[in-house]
Amino acid sequence: MGYDVHITRATEWTDSEATPITLDEWLAYVASDPEMRLDGFAEARMPKGEVIRIEGKGLSVWTAWPGERRGEGYAWMEYRRGRIVVKNPDPAILKKMCSIAEQLGAQVQGDDGETYPDATDLSPPP
């Protein structure tokens, strides 16, 4: 399943549609950031060879993620219902998410409601 972390303008990420980051805003951000690439889909090959594919107009990749160079896959960022969602982000991805949130006038919040206040402190608040 995994754990999602969200870039949202809402106080609680579950209310993101009430104060959304629009798809147009997200696409404009991706186009303006040379470290981002809009793919519109994500694919993963499973151990038995089957391919799982999801599609979305705002599905993007952070191309500067160090894990990609180590062969760990891609840092996918999915636009979903007024927010940007990343599954199981590592500290480098969280830092990038905080930077994006600052540009979009938003915050970074985990599934359990913890927030990541800025790019210098990536631990959940007490």
Half-sphere exposure of 18 (CA within 13 A, CB side): 6
Query: How far apart are alpha carbons 120 and 98 in whole angstroms?
Result: 9
| pLDDT greater than 80 at residue 60 | yes
| pLDDT greater than 90 at residue 79 | yes
What digits encode the pLDDT tens for the residues 15-49? 999 999 999 999 999 999 999 999 999 988 888 98
Higher pLDDT, 2 or 16: 16
pLDDT at residue 122, rounded to an integer? 56
| pLDDT greater than 70 at residue 118 | no
Contacts of 64 (CB under 8 A, 6+ apart): 35, 96
Query: How far apart are alpha carbons 107 and 105 in whole angstroms?
Result: 7
Query: How far apart are alpha carbons 116 and 48 in whole angstroms?
Result: 37
